[in-house]
Structure 1
Amino acid sequence: MSTLAVAKKDFLDVRRAKIVWFVGALYVAFMALLVYFGQNGRPDPTVLNALWNLTAVGAMFIPLIALVTAYLAIAGERESGGIKYMLSIPNSRRDVVLGKFLTRTAIVSASIAVAFLIGGALTLAWYPSPEMDTFGIMTALTVLYALTYVAVAIGISAATASRSRAMGGSIAFFFITSVLNVFGPLQLAIDYLVNDLAGLDVSMYQIMFVQSLVSPTAAYVNSTGLAFPDGFRTIPPDLPWFLQGEAMVVVMIAWLVVPLALGIWQFERVDLG
C-alpha cells in the first residue's frame, strides 16, 4: 500500500464518525446565520461585517473541527492494535502519517468549502454588493488555518500511544493557542515575559509577531488583512511587513509543515512493541 491507499482506507473509516459531521454542520449553520443576520433589517448591508464576525467565530470553532477530526487518527490505531496490521501490509510509517493527514485534510476542507459555498449563495441572493473576491480569499485563508490544526492534531496523534494522551495534548494546544489568544492572556503573557521579566524593549507589533509564531489562531486573524480593506474594523492601515497578510500566510504554512514533520519523525522512532 501507499500513502493514497492508506488515505482511501482511512476515509472509509472516518466518514462514519458522526461527531466529525456534526461539528462541520455547526460551522455551516454559523455561516448561514451570520450572513442572514448581517443583512436582516438593514437598508444598505455589507457582507464584510458578516465575514468579519465569521472570522471571530472561526478563530475558536475551526480548531475544534480540525482537532476532533484528526486527534485520534494514529493514537486510536495504536491503542486498538490496528496500527500493527496497517504496517504489516506493508506501509511505511511515513505513509501512515501522510495518508491520515490527507484524509483528515479532505474532510475538514470539504466542511469549510461547503460552508463558504452556502454562504456565498446566500450572499448573492441577499446582498447588493456580494464581495465575492473577499469571500474567495477568506475561504482560502480559513482552509489553510484549519489545516494547520489538522497537522498539529496528526503530529500529536503520531507522537502519543493512547487516546487519552492524544486528547489531552490536543485540548492543551487548543486552550493555549486559541482560547488564550482570542481572550487576550496569551499576548499579555508574552509581553510580561519579554518586557517585564527579560527587560527587553519589545514593541507591540513585535509582540504580535511572536504571538503569531506561537499561535496559528493569531496568524490567521492577522492574515485577514489580505481579504478586508485597510483600516477595516481593527485592522491597522500601517502594519509592518512582518505582520502583513503575506507574512502570516508563510507562518501558517510553517505551522502546517513543522508539526507534521515532527510527528513523522517521532512516529518513525517509537517502539510499537
Structure 2
Amino acid sequence: MSALDVARKDFLDARRSKIVWLAIAIYVGFIGLFMVIQRDQLRFHDTAHEGVVSVLVGVVTAGSVLIPVVALVAAYLAIAGERETGSIAFLLGLPNTRRDVVVGKFVSRSAVIVLGVVCASLVMAVSLLALYPVFPVRTYLVAMGLMALYAVIYVAIAIGISASVASKARAAAVGFGVYVALNVFTLFAPIGSHVRTLHTEVLGFAEAPTLYRFVSQLVPSEALSQVMRTIDVDIAGGSLPPADAPFYVQPEFAPVVLCAWIVAPLAVGYTRFKSADVS
C-alpha cells in the first residue's frame, strides 16, 4: 500500500463517523442561517454589491471560529485512536511507512472536511441567488477557497497532534488547548497586543509596531483576515500597513503563513511518530 491507499481506506472509515458528519451538518446549517439573517444588513450599505461582499466576509469570519472545531473533531483521532486500539500495528504491517500513514490520513481527512466546506458553499450560492440582489462571483470564489484552505490548515494541525501523542485523551487535550490558544484567546485581543505589553511594560523596550503586526499575523485567523483585507479593506475592517513596510507584514505575505501552518504541524507530527513505539 501507499499513502494514496491509506487515504482511500481512511476516507471510507471517516465517512461512516456520525460525529464527523454531525459537526459538518452543524457548520453547514449555521452558514445557511447566517446567510438568511444577514440579508437585513444590506440596507446599512451604500450599494447592494458592498452589502453582499460584507455578508460574505462575515461568513469567512464566522467560519474562522467554526471550521477549526469541525476539522479538529474530524481528525484528532486519525492516528492516536489507532495507536490506542492497537490497529496501527496492522496498518504499518501491510506494509506502509509511517510517512504514508501521516500523509494518507491528512489527505483523507482533508477531503472529508473540504467536502463539508463545498456543501456550505453550495448553501451560500443558493442563498445568494434566492435572497440577494447581486452575486459577486469573484468574492464568492475567494471566500470558498479561503474556507477550504483554512479547513485544511486545521486538519494538518489535528493530524500533527494525533501523530504526536499515543492516546485519545492526550489528542483531545492538546487539540482543545490549541483551539483555545489560536481562536478563543485571540478573540479578546490580537496576540500582538500581548507581545507589546511584554515587550514595553515588562521588558522595558521601545515600541516596535512592525514586530507586533508580524506576530499577530502568525495566527491563522489573523492571516485569514489579512487576505480578506486585500479584497476590500473598508468592508473587512482593520487597516493595511504602509506601502514601505517590510514584506512580511504585508497582506500578500499572509498566504505564506497559512501554508506554513499546513507544513509545520505535519512535519512535527511525522518526526514524533517516526520514532514512536507503537508495539
Q: TM-score range by the shorter chain?
A: over 0.9
Q: Which amino acid aligns with 1:126?
A: L
How far is 1:267 from its partner? Answer: 0.6
- Cα distance in 2 for partners of 1:86, 1:247 equals 39
1:148 equivalenced with 2:153 (yes/no): yes
- The equivalent residue for 2:260 is 254
Moved more, 104-113 or 217-226: 217-226
From 230, 234, 237, the equivalent of 1:231 is: 234
Give the CA deviation at 1:70. 0.6
TM-score normalised by length of structure 2: 0.90
SS in 2 for 1:231: helix
Match of 2:225 among 221, 242, 264: 221
Q: Cα 1:246–1:237, aligned 2, differ >3 Å: closer, same or farther?
A: closer
Percent of pairs identical after alignment?
Answer: 37
Deviations 1:150-198 (A, max 9, x none): 1111011001000000000100000001111122263432222222223
Could you tell me how far 1:229 is from its partner in structure 2?
1.5
User: In structure 1, what is the Cα distance between the partners aligned to 2:224 and 2:158?
Assistant: 17
Work out which of the residue numbers 115, 124, 127 in structure 1 matches 2:129.
124
Q: What amino acid is the match of 1:194?
A: H
Equivalent-residue separation in structure 1 for 2:215 and 2:97 (angstroms): 36
CA distance in 2, matches of 1:9, 1:202: 53
1:218-253 deviation per Cα after TM superposition (whole angstroms, max 9, x unaligned): 212222123x31322513255544343321111000
How do residues 1-273 of structure 1 correspond to structure 2 at under 5 angstroms? 1-40=1-40, 45=48, 46-184=51-189, 186-213=191-218, 215-226=219-230, 228-238=231-241, 240=245, 241-273=247-279
Deviation at 1:35, TM superposition (A): 1.6
**TM-score (norm. length: structure 1):** 0.92
Structure 2 stretches of 5 or more lacking a match?
none
Rounded to whole Å, the distance in 1 between the matches of 2:87 and 2:239 is 51
* Cα pair distance change 1:185/1:248, threshold 3 Å: closer
Q: Is the 8 A contact 2:240 2:251 kept in 1?
A: no
Q: Helix, strand or coil for the counterpart of 2:95?
A: coil
Query: d(CA) in 1 for partners of 2:174 and 2:22?
Result: 22
Counterpart residue type for residue 140 of structure 1: G
**Is this contact kept in 2: 1:74–1:158, CA < 8 A?**
yes
- For residue 205 of structure 2, give the secondary structure of its aligned residue in structure 1: coil
Equivalent residues, number: 271
Deviation at 1:209, TM superposition (A): 1.7
> Whole-Å Cα distance in 2 between the matches of residues 233 and 211 of structure 1?
16
